[in-house]
Amino acid sequence: MDNIPKMTVIRQCLSLLPTLSPTCVPLDYGVKKLRTLALLQLSVTAHLLRWESYREYAWQLDASPDLQELLGLPSISASQVSRRMNQLPTALLEHLFYALTHLIKNLSRPASSGLLQRVGRLLLVDASCLKLPAFLSDWARVTRDRCGVKIHVSYAVTSPEHTFVQHMVPSTGNVSDYEGSDLLLHEEEVTYVLDRGYVCYERMDRWIEGGLNFVMRIADHHQANVLHEHPVPEGSRILRDATVQMGSGYTAMEQRVRLVEFTDEKGRLYRIVTTQWEASAEDIAEIYEHRWLIELFFKWLKQHLRLVRLQSTQPQGIWNHLYLSLIAHALTLYIRYTQAPEKTEWEVLKRLRIHAAKEHTWEEFIQELNRRPTRTSKGRRKTGAKRRTPTLDHPVAYTKAVNEKRIVDRKQKKAGIEQNKNNK
């Protein structure tokens, strides 16, 4: 990575984006101020630094001479950003996202041991709902009282240390999970991991005929006609391993699948159907347990990039917001895998925000990101002493012991408050 001397953190992050200048030229016809390239750079910066509104875009630009010089934009208004964001072609952001995904994918290496070495790459497929205000979003109405959109994602797991978003499809909230899967399931040399929302016998037959491998959880009410029982290891958590045909009558599947039933550490039952015939039943259970990684990814997006609060109520503005969030996530991943692979995504993003706010150089950011602790500690040692129970008596707090009976009568409750005031 060739760094320009004195290049700030934000300048270096934006330099990692694929070049789009020739593509942006036709889109700027008639645009006098906020050109497409400047809009892209400003928006990516906003998502990396978690600016929560278009108005904050304007405030932050006014406060940063470095960003003004980079964008060639001394000032901007929130209404200009909103108008241009709702006009920006989503295909441009989609191209940018997949270009970054390609870079991240090239950094991955196949697992040399363990489950992923035996079964190959996993693609976790799931969807997450994002709410919209009902009085502004009739076009995204799901029920009478709820409006929203969905983000359908396939999340690649190539090794225990290397995961990334491979595909994303935005949709309105009334698109079911298995309808979204039609655009996500198409690779033959991977294993797709899906939850109960993707059960559709017609599609499952089509996937098998197309040579796709999947591991899918089914609900308790899904009927499985057992054709052959396979031996189960004694003393394991595997309860059943069988060849089955799903459904009954005219709704039954034409193809046969493998049914594996197991319990987790809390005793909860999982029923899994799969096309993985060579893997052991224990491996099938472990494959499905990897599905939790995509749930953590959705939580990361909503918690650290504030994806729960969309900045537009127009379709194109929302699709653009979703892709910009994934671009910010992909940039964070790329920096982590190339500069600090031992750090977590959150540690990299948090340090990036701290150094960007102070307009530190890229070298200072990388040096701090990889700084080793100067002092070592074994941590607090366990002594076996009983933990001291804190006292609840305090002049400014109204407290009750844990086992004390709750006061239901209002007169008794009022008397207790008065007594507490008198004690003060």
Which residues 6+ apart lie within 8 Å of 297 measured at CB? Answer: 153, 155, 163, 165
Across 21-25, 62-66, 203-207, the highest mean pLDDT is recorded for 203-207
From the list 127, 215, 213, 242, the residue with the least C-alpha distance to 175 is 127
- Measure the CA–CA gap between 257 and 269, rounded to whole angstroms: 19
Question: Which amino acid appears at position 314 of this protein?
Answer: Q
In the 3-class helix/strand/coil scheme, how is 119-150 assigned residue by residue? HCCEEEEEEEEEEECHHHCHHHECCCCCEEEE
Q: Calculate mean pLDDT across residues 228-241.
A: 92
Find residue 258's DSSP bridge partners. Answer: 243, 274
pTM over 0.85? The answer is: yes
Residue with tokens 């294993």: 191
State yes or no: pLDDT of 147 exceeds 50: yes
Q: Find how far residue 89's CA is from the centre of its chain.
A: 23
As a whole number, the mean pLDDT across the chain is 89
Q: In this predicted structure, what is the pLDDT of residue 395?
A: 77
Percentage of the chain lying above the pLDDT 70 cut = 91
DSSP state of 112: S
Given a contact cutoff of 8 angstroms between Cβ atoms, the answer to whether 137 and 144 are in contact is no
Q: Calculate mean pLDDT across residues 320-337.
A: 96
Q: Calculate mean pLDDT across residues 93-108.
A: 93
Given a contact cutoff of 8 angstroms between Cβ atoms, the answer to whether 134 and 365 are in contact is no
Locate the domains of the chain by residue range.
Answer: 9-90+314-369, 91-297
Q: Calculate mean pLDDT across residues 139-150.
A: 93
Q: Which two tokens stand for residue 178?
A: 């298995």
Strands (E), 89-223: 122-132, 147-159, 162-172, 191-194, 213-218
Higher per-residue confidence, 382 vs 106? 106
At 35, is the pLDDT very low, low, confident or very high (cuts 50, 70, 90)? confident
At 416, is the pLDDT very low, low, confident or very high (cuts 50, 70, 90)? low
C-alpha pair distances (Å), 74 with each of 51, 69, 248, 257, 359: 18, 8, 67, 62, 17
Q: Calculate mean pLDDT across residues 44-57.
A: 94
The edge-to-edge listing of strands for the beta sheet with 162-172 is 162-172, 147-159, 122-132, 191-194, 213-218, 269-274, 257-263, 238-246, 224-229
- Measure the CA–CA gap between 62 and 39, rounded to whole angstroms: 15
Q: Calculate mean pLDDT across residues 261-266.
A: 92
Given a contact cutoff of 8 angstroms between Cβ atoms, the answer to whether 310 and 140 are in contact is no
User: CB-based burial of residue 395 (10 Å sphere; 0-12 exposed, 13-18 middle, 19+ buried)?
Assistant: exposed
Q: How many CB atoms lie within 10 A of CB 152?
A: 21
- At 131, phi and psi to the nearest 5? -80, 150
State yes or no: pLDDT of 5 exceeds 60: no
Given a contact cutoff of 8 angstroms between Cβ atoms, the answer to whether 67 and 58 are in contact is no
Q: Calculate mean pLDDT across residues 320-325.
A: 96
Task: Report whether CATH 3.90.350.10 matches the domain 91-297.
Answer: yes
C-alpha pair distances (Å), 361 with each of 9, 69, 230, 310: 6, 16, 61, 31
Q: How many CB atoms lie within 10 A of CB 27?
A: 18
Given a contact cutoff of 8 angstroms between Cβ atoms, the answer to whether 97 and 330 are in contact is yes
